[in-house]
Amino acid sequence: MGKNNIGWLALAVLLSATPALADSVPLDVWQQFAFETAGTPATGCNPNDPAGPFCIGSSGTLTDFAPAPPWTFSTPFGAVLTVTDAFEAGDQFEVFDFGASIGTTTAPSGSTDCGDDPAVCLATADISKGIFSLAGGSHAITIFPVLAPTGGGTAYFLVEAAPVPEPGSWALLASSLLALAVARRRSRP
C-alpha cells in the first residue's frame, strides 16, 4: 500500500469515527417537544427523536416534531426563539444555549387549557411562554421543565431569523462611523 493510500485510509477512519452532529431545526416552523418531570431535559418527539415519546401534532398551526436535542441552528444576523407551553397551564421552562441559561418562560397561572395549537397558546394569558433574542451565529438549544405538575406533556418552540438589515441602515451606520472618525481626527493636537 502506497503512502497516498495510507493517508486516504487514515482520513476515512477519522471521518467515520467523528460523532454525528445534532439535527439542525428549520427556521420559521413550530417544533413540538416533549418533557417529563421538572429538572429532566426535554426531548423531541418520535419518530424525529427515536428516544422521545409519541406526540400528537397540532390541529391548527403547521408544526413539526422536534428531533433529538440539542436543537441547533445558525443565523447570520441573530434570531428570536419563542417557547410556549401547550394544553393546560402549569408548566414552566428554563432555556439553555450551549449549556448556558438564557432565561425562563413566564410563570403559569390558573387552569386554562389552550389546546394543541402553539399560536393559540402563545396568545393565551395564563400559559407560560418566553421570547428570547439571540445573537448571530450558531446555537444549540436545550430546554428543561422548571414546573411540570402533571408529570409531563408537550410544548413548542419556534426559531425565527432576525431580519437582514436594510441597505439604508448600513449606509447610516457607515456615515455615522465616518463622522466620528473625522471628528476624532480633528480633535487631536
In a domain, 93, yes or no: yes
pLDDT over threshold 80, residue 173: no
Q: How far apart are CA 158 and CA 168, in angstroms?
A: 29
| Mean pLDDT taken over the chain | 85
In a domain, 13, yes or no: no
Find the CATH number of the domain harbouring 129. Answer: 2.60.120
> Smallest Cα–Cα separation from 75: which of 131, 24, 20?
24
In a domain, 77, yes or no: yes
In a domain, 10, yes or no: no
In a domain, 7, yes or no: no
In a domain, 11, yes or no: no
Per-residue pLDDT reduced to its tens digit, 51-86: 999 999 999 999 999 999 999 999 999 999 999 999
Give me the number of domains the chain comprises.
Answer: 1
In a domain, 16, yes or no: no
Quote the domain boundaries for residue 158: 22-187
State how far the alpha carbon of 176 is from the alpha carbons of 75, 167, 170, 179, 184, in Å: 26, 14, 10, 5, 12
What confidence tier does 184 reach under pLDDT thresholds 50, 70, 90?
A: low
Max CA separation in the chain (angstroms): 73
